[in-house]
Amino acid sequence: MTPTPDGRPRPVVIGVDSSTQSTKAAVTDAATGALLALGRAPHAVTGTDGTRESDPETWWRALADAVAGALHTAGVGPRQVTGIAVAAQQHGLVVLDARGRPLRAAPLWNDTRSAPQAHALTEELGAAQWLARTGSVPVASMTATKWRWLRESEPRTAAAAAALRLPHDFLTERLCGQALTDPGDASGTCWYSTADGRYDPHLLDLLGLDAALLPEVAPTGAARAGTLTTAAARALGLPAGIPVAVGTGDNMAAAVGLGLGGAGLLDHPVISLGTSGTVFAATRTRPAAAPLAGFAATDGTYLPLACTLNCTLAVDKFAGLLGLDREAAAPGDGLVVLPYLDGERTPDLPHATGLLTGLRHSTTREQLLGAAYEGAAFTLLRALDGLLAACTADPAAPGPGTAPLADRPLRLIGGGARGRAWVETVRRLSGRPVLLPRQTELVALGAAALAHAAATGEDPVAVSAAWGTGRGRELPPAEADTATWRRIESALAQTAPTLLS
């Protein structure tokens, strides 16, 4: 690593991405944003039939392992580290005792057992009131539904809770000893009001939730939660006293890594192709339209988002069943696959299963895999049309090829964005240009920008913009495949009532 002009080692920051499947720690040059090394450590996710849980202690052990691995690979000394920040999967419910130890495994965002509680909460308050207060209508992924489920299913555990945390809150508190969350991640709980910028007392009463169990919400723009404690420093092999950022949820960190925010950019909406698929855009407009999640961003703007539970993992399942490489896909040619293998969030079909229509003797394995790609990509693009319409950026009419959507580049991020089949399917179904950022670890790099802000007081979005982490290669639009779009849309319209029942 090149030293500074005066011969001293260059300062670095660490951005942590604690996701569903693993923890990644990005050691990043604080001056240039160059990714020097990426440490990884896996998580264990358990459960079947809608249950998805992880032991929060494994996240902490994985964080320490990932940081150690990244520092070793980068050849960086611990005293070069000037800040650390955690971004983590949203919505998970971490239930702690008085010593800060988990009372049970944490139900994750994709745990759908609380679907009945989500329905009940919506009925009790009304969808319009939920939208007005939180910007979202409860679905099974939201933390409030998981708390209601816990109170009904495991009342002794709920009664014993001394603290409730989101995954990033839990890890940040382990780092600095401060119980603090941020508006972005808090906005995914359904007990935080994006209208008022605080926990909603009426919703807390509805949920039977004492505000004393929750972390304080940091003011908008607050960068630093505290400094690394002696115990945390020992666990991570870092000096005590390093600034620790407030951190945020993974989607909010990805937006920071892309340099989105402040100006209310809608010219490059984002499609994230990961275990789940998400679409989001930074805007100054506070959206309140189901089925969008009207999240807050880290900088006082908003990050409206739609999420599908079934994205790369569902398509990879098809590839595995068919004995094909994931890139060995061909257009579906009359097939329709709705790959709702884990239920669904957008559309709100938590009990749905996968559906396949259009099989013929001439159908090939490659076409069947391609149809799975098409079904997953359709779900995301349809949600994106609704998102942009809700932000008053585009016509309300759904479907590809409608101006000005056809001219708006889509940023593709996540693991799927590195795959030819995913990129070409999105291009074909959308008919829009696609921008592929050069950097792939945008959640971790967004967290690194938050860490740099905690150390310097700079604006993290401006830091990422200066680093150029959102820049990349733009692909021209492909001809919109309207026939496939209409075929999938028709199949969904015919089967959704069955799936909902």
Q: Following DSSP, what letter does each residue of 20-85 receive, concatenated?
A: SSEEEEEEEETTT--EEEEEEEE---B-STT--EE-HHHHHHHHHHHHHHHHHHHT--GGGEEEEE
pLDDT at 474: 93
User: Nearest 10 degrees: CA dihedral of 194, 195, 199, 201?
Assistant: -150
Residue 290's alpha-carbon distances to 130, 220, 306, in angstroms, are: 10, 25, 9
**At which residue do the structure tokens 């404690």 appear?**
229
More confident: 184 or 391? 184
**Share above pLDDT 70 across residues of the chain, in percent, rounded to a whole number:** 93
User: Which residues, in sequence order, are bridge partners of residue 273?
Assistant: 277
Rounded Cα gap, residues 344 and 327, in angstroms: 24
User: Is the C-alpha dihedral spanning 339, 345, 349, 350 positive or negative?
Assistant: positive
The rounded percent of the chain whose pLDDT value lies above 90 is 76
Q: Within a 13 Å sphere around the CA of 430, how many CA atoms are in the beta-carbon half?
A: 32
Residue reference for tokens 């984002």: 270
pLDDT digits (tens, 9 = 90+) for 187-238: 999 999 998 999 999 999 999 999 999 999 998 878 899 999 999 999 999 9
* pLDDT score of 322 more than 90: yes
What's the pLDDT tens digit per position in 72-117?
999 999 999 999 999 999 999 999 999 999 999 999 998 999 999 9
Give me the numbers of helices (H) and strands (E) for the chain, helices first please: 16, 24
pLDDT average, residue stretch 135-160? 97
371, pLDDT greater than 60: yes
Residues carrying an active site annotation? 250
Residue with tokens 């499609």, as numbered in its chain: 271
Question: Strands 434-437, 472-475: parallel, antiparallel or unpaired by DSSP?
Answer: antiparallel
Residues 439, 464 contacting (CB under 8 angstroms)? no
- For residue 402, pLDDT over 60 is answered with no
Q: Where are the alpha helices (DSSP H) in 138-178?
A: 143-153, 155-160, 167-176
What is the per-residue pLDDT for 394? 40
Q: Are 23 and 57 in contact (CB under 8 A)?
A: no
**Which has the closest alpha carbon to 295: 208, 379, 192?**
192
Distance CA 274, CA 234 (A): 33
Is pLDDT above 80 for 431?
yes
Q: Where are the beta strands (DSSP E) in 381-429?
A: 410-413
Tokens of 51: 């249950």
Q: Angle between the 115-125 and 127-134 helix axes, to the nearest 10 degrees?
A: 90
Quick one: tokens of 406? 């056809």
Contacting residues for 462 by C-beta, under 8 A, at least 6 apart = 262
> 289 CB contacts (<8 Å, ≥6 apart)?
131, 386, 390
Q: Which is nearest to 272 in space by CA: 84, 446, 449, 141?
A: 446
266 has pLDDT over 70 = no
Query: Which two tokens mark 108?
Result: 């994750």
- Residues contacting 30, CB < 8 A, separation 6+: 10, 11, 12, 13, 82, 83, 452, 455
Q: Please state, in angstroms and rounded to a whole number, the distance separating the CA atoms of residues 281 and 287.
A: 11
Computed over every residue of the chain, the mean pLDDT equals 91
Asked if the model's pLDDT at residue 267 lies above 70, the reply is no
For residue 201, give the amino acid letter: P
pTM, to two decimals: 0.88
- In sequence order, the 6+-apart residues with CB closer than 8 A to the CB of 267 are 408, 409
* Structural domains for the chain: 108-162+183-217 (3.30.420.40), 256-437+471-501 (3.30.420.40)
Torsion of the alpha carbons at 368, 320, 352 and 288, rounded to the nearest 10: -90
Residue 5 has pLDDT above 70, yes or no: no
pLDDT category at 437 given cuts 50, 70, 90 is very high
> Using CA atoms, how far apart are residues 255 and 197, in angstroms rounded to an integer?
20
Strand partners, 84: 14, 244
The DSSP secondary-structure symbol of 298 reads T
How many Å apart are CA 73 and CA 421, to the nearest integer? 32
For the chain, the C-alpha Rg in angstroms (whole number) is 22
